[in-house]
Amino acid sequence: MSVGHVFREVERRVRLSLVRPARIKLATRNRARAHGIFIGITGSSGKSTTAALISAILKTKGRVSSQIVNNTINPLIDTIRKSQKFDYIVVENGVGVKGQMKPMASLLQPNIAVVTMVGLEHYSAFKSSEAIAEEKGGLVEALRPEGLAVLNADDPLVMGMGKRTNARVVTFGFSEGADCRIIDVSGGAPNGVVVTLLCRGEELVIPTRYAGHHFAAAVAAAVLVGLELGAAPEDIRSAIRSCSPVVLRMSTHQIPGGPLIITDCAKAPLGTLDLAYDALRHVDAPRKRIVLGQVSDSIGPRKRAYRTALGGALAVADEVIFVTEWSQPERFLPRGNTGEHFKSFHNTREAAEYLAATAMKDEVILIKGSPNFHLERILLNFTQRVRCWEQTCGRGGNCYTCGLFSHDFRSHRRMGAGKAAERLLRRLLRRKTQEA
């Protein structure tokens, strides 16, 4: 990517932010004219998987527009602008700070709102689960009166959102009274979990490609939406069976003649680490290893958080590889642990080289961490030559979307000039706007 391209991309983004009010107004008109069914999905975890499954199911019934992972207002504006071409518009809605949901929900005006769960993924911004529920519940509140709220029966904070709408409420989960009840979850990697549901008096056995048992909730939510919209059970089963995990969100990768690698490094809130660890409990493998990077959204002292994270990993894995820039990483081990099954490295490259040198056929390696260290390069290193090993490169997204991992970081370090260019362009455009 040339420097000129960077300037053009920065200019596009700046102009986009300056004209957002006009774009929202136009998108509101497009929403009023659209005849499709709009489905919004929010929650602290499981949004992307639920949205992907719902999209796969609805493709058996009509034309589907899917907005997955990119879950903020600018992508939503673009999705609604093109919505008149589609029968179903499936949108993932995420929030990072207070006040983000209301404008998105008001613009989306969902016919169906799905809430997966409330956790502490955004603790640093919200400080409590109740505050997160208040924010995310704005999607349910924006439902049209004839709409449908699809709520997690196992989460009291999610169930409380039903009081914020006059729309009909249906539920999913393990709870006895759920409209779509999970009655069994079996299997795991590499073949995928099998979820057995009881919906409308009928038992449905749904095979999947997902590694973790916690994906059962996303499957139940998607099945319930599909049934409510008239999809046939056989079509639902077939659609889910063919749906692959979102890359880097518990996605599985079999290395020919080598290990099975499960990558879950899009985010790593402390409160949901056990969901990823649990996937290893249901795997039959000659060895199980976990690579742990930076943990996010923990409450209390950092040392206590990492003791919890490492303790959970050591309980299910034969070896834990800790990637951290902190000195003396052994101090984060649980009290009494000798470190016999523990190794630490100060960067991703060292960890990748160690794993490549010690990999065993058919072992399972779980890679878990926040995106800043780009731990996905450990997986990439098994299949192709990685040349960019910068520990914190400053680029957003992941190495798949960046695509520059096969080039030495020094060869594209000039891209850092983009930040200076962005500041300059913002000043110039702001001045031009004020003059106008």
Tens digit of each residue's pLDDT (9 = 90 or more) over 244-303:
998 898 999 999 999 999 999 988 888 889 999 999 999 999 999 999 999 987 777 889
Residues 98 and 117 in one domain: yes
Number of H helices, E strands in the chain: 17, 15
Residues 338 and 375 in one domain: yes
Residues 285 and 404 in one domain: yes
Domain that holds residue 121: 19-241
Q: How many domains does the chain have?
A: 2
Alpha helix locations (H) across 128-179?
A: 129-136, 138-141, 156-159
On the question of pLDDT at 1 being above 50, the answer is no
| Residue bearing tokens 């799905």 | 114
Does residue 14 sit within a domain?
no
The confidence score (pLDDT) of residue 417 equals 43
Does residue 342 sit within a domain?
yes
Give the pLDDT mean for 170-184: 97
Residues 254 and 229 in one domain: no
309 close to 272: Cβ distance less than 8 angstroms: no
Q: Final residue of a domain: which of 218, 241, 264?
A: 241
- 13-51 confidence digits (pLDDT tens): 555 554 567 778 788 888 888 899 999 999 988 999 999
Residues 337 and 197 in one domain: no
Residues 194 and 336 in one domain: no
Residue 254 maps to which CATH number?
3.90.190.20
Residues 275 and 222 in one domain: no
| Residue bearing tokens 């549901």 | 197
Which pLDDT band, with edges at 50, 70 and 90, does 435 fall under?
very low
- The tokens of 99 are what? 């006040």
Amino acid letter at 251? S
Residues 315 and 411 in one domain: yes
Residues 256 and 203 in one domain: no
Residue 80 maps to which CATH number?
3.40.1190.10
Give the pLDDT mean for 62-67: 96
Does residue 349 sit within a domain?
yes
On the question of pLDDT at 158 being above 70, the answer is yes
Residues 255 and 397 in one domain: yes
Does residue 3 sit within a domain?
no
Nearest to 400 by CA among 382, 418, 377: 377
292 close to 320: Cβ distance less than 8 angstroms: yes
Give phi and psi for 78, each to the nearest 5: -65, -40
| Residue bearing tokens 């774009």 | 23
Residues 164 and 255 in one domain: no
Does residue 436 sit within a domain?
no
263-272, 322-331, 418-427, range with the lowest pLDDT:
418-427
Residues 220 and 145 in one domain: yes
